[in-house]
Structure 1
Amino acid sequence: MAKKKILTLGFSVYGDDTEYCEFDSQTSLLDWDIILIQPDISDYSFRGSEYFQGKRSLSDYDSFNLKSRTEHWKREIKTAIDHGKIIIFFLDNLQEVYIATGEKQYSGTGKNRQVTRIVGLCSNYDILPFKIKITNTKGKEIKLAPKKSEVVSTYWTNLSDNSSYQVIVEGDAVIPCLQTKHGDKTVGFILNSNNSNGALVGLPNINFSDESFFDEEMEEWSEKGKQFSHNFVKQIVNLEKAFKQEGDLTVEPEWAKDVQFKLRSEEIANNKLLVLEEKISKILSEKEEALEKLSKLSKLRNLLFEKGKPLEFAILDALKILGFSVSQYEDADSEFDAVFESEEGRLIGEVEGKDNKAVNIDKLRQLALNIHEDLQREEVLTPAKSVLFGNAYRLIPLIDRQNPFTEKCISAASVSSTALIFTPDLFVVARYLHDNKNARFSKQCRKAILNAVGRVNFPEVPSSSEKKVDSVVSNND
């Protein structure tokens, strides 16, 4: 018998019997025989810096991503079940966050005008293609349900000691297979497909990150973790086999699909389905285009927190927005992070990102060397203006950052007439110019760079209602 292809989403186990998949993946579940899911959106909730009604509230960006991923997995789970796949869902604790709905309410006028962002709840259980009520509660005392539990009995005999319930489930769509020992509350369920041998099985949670499963000193799985993983995979394969045997449907032969055997209402339903599939295909295509566009637009924010190549590319994009023609230069002898010019002059830049430090003089030495090497080229007649782009303390919120350049760096920059650009400052003006065509302001920004010695002070954006990031950056000048 061919080896079963097993995918894990939200957790991993030891060995090559399974393949791990991240929540943010675009993976199709149709490529797998057995899909194991432990719903977890904690990465999103950790990033939520605001609260609403006692729960984390996500930014518009994270809200869109979480909603998109949730809809992806909901669609994939339903499709996989309808195509005969077995999905095993480990019932972890309910995680809820508030996400932006895209709607806003406005009140007041003029300076008193207020904008209220409308949010809605999203949970890690929203990836299920049916509605159930989930209540957080914990316990270990679990029994097999009086009916429909035979198929999970062997699994439960072998893995009950590793299992505990984190939630109680209520819903008409589910068939209980495991219940609390007292009160007969559902903590495990089965949902069979009406169209195939597929099924979704909800089982009490297993702590796949148990400390005893890992050897911290060796930074690898412990023997106990390895033994558990091997036994776990074995029981999962046996569980899938039990489901296939219990619900073994005869595959419809080709001759039975002939038009002479089809109902008239079936033809009507099929034609409607084709129309819907075409609409869905068009919508998904438009969605992918929108996602690609959003991804490109969001890269400008890399000026706030990135380093290395992602920061370099964001700087190049920002300089284009300011009206520079830009490039990166590399030959056998030289490599420049940024070469940019306009009618006002020609400049060469070096880029530095620091996690928790100010930008020091290290890059100034490299920048001076680049200016000299550039001048040695035959086509270059005058020295380029030197610019050091620094994203200091990049992992710290803007409001908490200290001076982005060291005193020694500022002193050396004045000697070499180098312009120092704090990349969040560049973000403020680039964001404005991206959203507003203003040739005069863009020219002022270019001149500010060309004329600066030391830190560049960009002109204030011509708007009376700046967003928080603008005031945060200016407060640290």
Structure 2
Amino acid sequence: MKVLSIGQSFQHDDVTQDQFGSGTSLLDYDLLLLDPAVLIDEYWAKSKVNTYTGYPVIDDRNSVRLKTDIRRRQNEMYEMLKQGRTIIVFTPAPQRCHIAPDERDYAADRLGVAKYDLHENLFTPILFTRYGRNVRTVEAAGKSLEFRGEEPFGSFWEKNKNNLRYHAYFEEKVGKPQWFIEGTTKVIGTYLKIKNGYLIYLPMVQAEEHFPSHAEWLEAQEIFIDSLLKLVEELKKGSADVQLPSWTESYLLPGELEQRTNLSNLQGVLDHVYREIAQQKEHLDQLSKYKLLIAGTGKAFDVQVRKVFEELGFTVKEGLLGKDDIFLNYGDKFAVVQARSMTRTATITQAAQLEKCVSEYFTPYDVEVKGILVVNAYKDQPFQERTEAVFPNAMVNYSEKRNHCLMTGVQLLNLYLEARENPERRAALVQKMFDTSGVFDEQVDRPVQRSANGEELQATEPTEVR
């Protein structure tokens, strides 16, 4: 089988590489592999204009070449399908660029302001325009794919499922979907029978940087192309079946309407289930983020601390420029919160930094400001291994004299969970933070630990925080 690849290079003896704008005829080949994601660069690289509104600008000369090549290739692809050949397109994100309009704006030319039209889908609907379909994709990259298709695509999937990556999904259902973003109804791979051939949209094999070695990448490419050739051969075997003309769809056999209705209803139920799965995954992801209070670090830890204080009823105020602290108020009370995540114990230096921050807010606002330090110490260790004191005695003595509230991420998490489960206690718990001078001493147990099957693990005694 003669294979031509345009836009993507494959290390395989059966694949010939070429450019979209070359003079090579597609009709010399049995299988076309087309990656539209890199085709704009072929024309932009030869253009004398750079970018506009952040997108490539194809100058007048190359705009003419681009439009001419699209028409030429479109006709060749249509002829390939008529002859029963196969075209595989790697589902692309919208390819945005500015090209010269068909009709020149001579007034703009005289002013020295060339006008270029922004196009988003030059290559995506390259075949569908003949059928009056508006096929659009949405940019989205990832590797969580889910196969819900049929043979012979199932065999192809089994050989390549660990090496595929998607870069976009279809806005609407197209053809017979085979691949989806996992847990959703977003289609990333599908196929259509057009004339006597097949048009297949596929996710792409991952780039070399995603493989441990060059040899493993070469092996993955070899498997990918070999399984593609097998897929095309199997599709051709099935194409020997009689293809009914479209007008027969308006003639229904006894029981056909009922079966079509049942199929449609089942598809609706399936779509609803996948939407529910997607929503549940989102809820679970949001809930899991609270674990950042006991295992997070950096910006993610800071953001989650801020979110918890907001959910406790605090209002985030405009802080000082260039500061990473959190300035809050709760009713007529004000507080500045600093969040620190580390692999060791807290230090007196952090208490001193908190005191400096409190004084910086007191001066411009002329209000009493409570200093709160939230520390996720020993962040990389499981709870049962966190046996060292979080706040050393010297630090505690320093903070007690300055009315600081020192608390761990575990304490903040459990305070939040208690306030969420018992809203009537929320105000008292918040007041407890304002009343604390030194270590927050509200009785705090660790979150219940459970195994993957839901069984409660053996509990351990809470670690002394001082």
| TM-score normalised by L of structure 1 | 0.50
Amino acid in the other structure paired with 1:302: L
Of 258, 276, 279, 1:286 maps to 276
* Separation in 2, partners of 1:326, 1:337: 14
Give the aligned partner of residue 55 of structure 2. none
CA distance in 1, matches of 2:351, 2:444: 27
Specify which of 221, 244, 253 is matched with residue 233 of structure 1: 221
Distance 1:266 1:4 in 2: 44
1:390 Cα offset (Å) = 0.3
Residue of structure 2 in register with 1:418 after alignment: 404
Q: Which secondary structure does the structure 2 equivalent of 1:395 belong to?
A: coil
Please say if residues 344 and 450 of structure 1, whose CA atoms lie closer than 8 Å, have aligned partners that are also in contact: no
The equivalent residue for 2:304 is: 314
The answer to whether the aligner puts 1:2 opposite 2:21 as a matched pair is no
Does residue 364 (structure 1) correspond to residue 351 (structure 2)? The answer is yes
Q: Matched residue of 2:281: which SS? A: helix
Listed as ranges, the gaps of 5+ residues in structure 2 are 11-32, 36-87, 92-143, 163-181, 183-192, 200-207, 451-457
- Offset of residue 236 of structure 1: 3.6
Q: 1:264 aligns with which of 237, 241, 254?
A: 254
Q: 2:328 aligns with which of 328, 332, 340?
A: 340
Q: Identity of aligned pairs, percent?
A: 12
The aligned counterpart of 1:190 is none
Q: Once the 2 structures are TM-superposed, how far is the Cα of residue 396 of structure 1 from its aligned partner?
A: 1.0
Structure 1 Cα separation of the partners of residues 157 and 411 of structure 2? 49
Distance 2:297 2:353 in 1: 17
Instruction: Say whether 1:385 aligns with 2:341.
Output: no
Instruction: Give per-residue Cα distances to partners, 1:296-342, cap 9 Å, x unaligned.
Output: 233222211112222223223332444x32316445x3424322232
Which residue of structure 2 lines up, in the alignment, with residue 86 of structure 1? 156
Query: Quick check: 1:244 aligned with 2:247?
Result: no
Do residues 474 (structure 1) and 462 (structure 2) align? yes
Q: Deviations over 1:149-187 (max 9, x none)?
A: xxxxxxxxxxxxxxxxxxxxxxxxxxxxxxxxxxxxxxx
Say if 1:81 and 1:418 are closer, same or farther in 2 by CA, change over 3 A. Answer: farther
Query: After superposition, where does 1:66-465 map in structure 2 within 5 Å?
Result: 76-79=146-149, 81=151, 86-89=156-159, 225-227=213-215, 229-230=217-218, 232-248=220-236, 249-250=238-239, 255-256=245-246, 258-259=248-249, 263-322=253-312, 324-327=313-316, 329-331=318-320, 333-343=321-331, 345-354=333-342, 356-377=343-364, 380-401=365-386, 402-438=388-424, 441-459=425-443
Query: Contact conserved, 2:338 with 2:372, CA < 8 A, in 1?
Result: yes
Residues 120-141 of structure 1, C-alpha deviations (whole Å, 9 max, x = no match): xxxxxxx9xxxxxxxxxxxxxx
Shift of 1:411: 3.3
Structure 1 residue 232: Cα displacement? 4.8
Offset at residue 247 of structure 1 (A): 4.5
TM-score normalised according to structure 2 size: 0.51
Q: Which amino acid aligns with 1:400?
A: E
Taking a change above 3 Å as real, the CA distance of residues 457 and 227 of structure 1, as seen in their structure-2 partners, is closer
Higher strand share: 1
CA distance in 2, matches of 1:231, 1:471: 48
C-alpha distance in 1, partners of 2:230/2:294?
53
Matched residue SS, 1:88? helix
3-state SS of 2:147 partner: helix
- Contact kept in structure 1, 2:152 and 2:235, CA below 8 Å: no
Return the index of the structure with the highest Cα Rg. Answer: 2
